[in-house]
Amino acid sequence: MWVIQVPKDQIYRIPPPENAHRFEQLSRKKTNRSNCRCCFCSFLATIFILIVLAGISLAILYLIYRPEAPKYSIEGFTVSGINLNSTSPISPNFNVTVRSRNGNGKIGVYYEKESSVDVYYNDVDLCNGVMPVFYQPAKNVTVVRLALSGSKIQLTSGMRKEMRNEVSKKTLPFKLKIKAPVKIKVGSVKTWTMIVNVECDVTVDKLTAPSRIVSRKCSHDVDLW
């Protein structure tokens, strides 16, 4: 009898013929999975690099141009069409003058379509309208006159009583809300659409024209996306 000893590191495991096909399939799947992982990792790395580059570009632009949002104020505010001595629905009209100041030295603002302007009294929407479509260049002050109207607004008896009391004191408070889609122009580049939200608290002395503004205060914020 002959006994042959073979070192363990020279022993090769070969699948039996009935499992050879299955072994080949499994080997291919492992190779495909490895390739998919490499592609996915490359894709994630590319996205990460693009995000980093975009962030660096925005930071550089900010440091160069120092952008700031336009400043808004109310220059005129007159009311008509509100009869407090009748219980019938009212159809009020408001003529509002809005002043927009763009203090940026190298940035223009495009005011786009689909804006909205509303005037409220105690959370009741009295009238609505839209901002005009226009371009405001850098270092510019633009005055916009808005004609707003409402129809068949029903005031409660409590609201009428409250408004009569405020008329006697010559302090009628209203809230103006503006929602304006805008695009920013930096050099020859125009950005995506952003939303400027403006809220102004305005108090006038009476419900007939011409009325005097007793107090006014505006605030705003910008929705970047």
* DSSP H/E element including 93: strand 93-102
Check residue 132 and report its DSSP letter: P
User: What pLDDT does residue 25 have?
Assistant: 53
User: What pLDDT does residue 64 have?
Assistant: 47
User: What pLDDT does residue 189 have?
Assistant: 86
Kindly report the length of the chain: 225
User: What pLDDT does residue 63 have?
Assistant: 41
CA atoms within 13 A on the CB side of 156: 7
Average pLDDT per consecutive 10 residues, the chain (225 residues; last block may be shorter) = 54 53 52 62 77 60 62 96 94 97 93 98 96 96 97 94 96 97 91 96 94 96 90
Q: Domain 71-223 belongs to what topology?
A: Immunoglobulin-like (2.60.40)
What residue has token string 């590191």? 9
